[in-house]
Amino acid sequence: MSRLHGIEVGHGPIRLFFLHGIFGQGKNFGNVAKLLSEQITSVLLDLPNHGRSPWTDRFDYDLFADLVADELEARGASSAPVVLVGHSMGGKIAMRLALRHPGLISHLVVEDMSPVARTGSDDFQHLVDSLCSLDLASITNRKQADEQLAGLVADPGVRGFLLQNLHRDTASGGWRWLPNLELLRHSITQLTGWPPITGSWDRPVLWLRGANSDHVQPADEPVMRSYFPRERLETIPGAGHWIHADQPRAVAHAIAEFVGREA
């Protein structure tokens, strides 16, 4: 399989890799990475089936964790472990990577996600179904795509986030989606799940929770601690599920302080 796509930001001595959530891309962490650029060199990865990274034929968190681990190893993590930050879906991949490939990671940051299976996947299903329903052949510009999507997704901020994934094909001149939407569409149960896994990882873990998000519940903390006994929880005020978009400075500060204190 081809290498994962990544963008490097910053020139600091600490190396950090960001893993985004569903429908995201590595560049979504650009603002946080720039705020950390003096202290940290960040790599903003596109996860499998997203952005400019290769597609897979199945949705499998352990497969994705192994593919990211391959990328970390290709970038030298075997000899110099790196900081790993994962949001939402990327948080699950990051946690499983730490458990499966413990020697590659020095510090782990998990944004608004827990190592548990969740019910209530209707929101994700609605979003992916909405994207699949767009008639790309009739679209000549992004404004038209936004107008088509507005009848299905009312929030303009969410529409803007989703439409970052719409790409004009230079060869054909038409439009296509960067994510593997058909795979995601049929994998919502796997997306919201947490397959059984054993073991624990005894290195520092920072668990960031959005104050306005319900993705992390109080009952989740004992489960988190069973896998990651050195975890600590921090709540970011004024943030929903997309913490790094809502409060980039607070997230950057939390990461910098965590890595510096736990070094």
**In the block, residue with structure tokens 């020095």:** 106
| Residue 53: active-site member | no
Per DSSP, the residues of 26-86 read GGGGHHHHHHTTTTEEEEEEPPTTSTTSPP-SS--HHHHHHHHHHHHHHTTTTTS-EEEEE
The closest alpha carbon to 236, from 225, 218, 251, belongs to: 251
Alpha-carbon span 133 to 144, nearest angstrom: 14
The catalytic residue among 53, 88, 106, 187 is 88
Question: Tokens representing 15?
Answer: 């190396």
User: What amino acid occupies position 56?
Assistant: T
Pairing of strands 82-87, 14-19: parallel
Using left for φ > 0, alpha for ψ between -120 and 50, and beta otherwise, residue 26 falls in alpha
The catalytic residue among 87, 101, 107, 241 is 241
The closest alpha carbon to 5, from 27, 36, 30, belongs to: 27
Q: Is the CB of residue 106 less than 8 Å from the CB of residue 81?
A: yes
The catalytic residue among 121, 182, 226, 257 is 182
| Residue 182: active-site member | yes
Alpha-carbon span 2 to 85, nearest angstrom: 22
3-state class of 201 per DSSP? coil
| Residue 257: active-site member | no
Q: Is the CB of residue 12 less than 8 Å from the CB of residue 36?
A: yes
| Residues noted as catalytic | 88, 182, 241
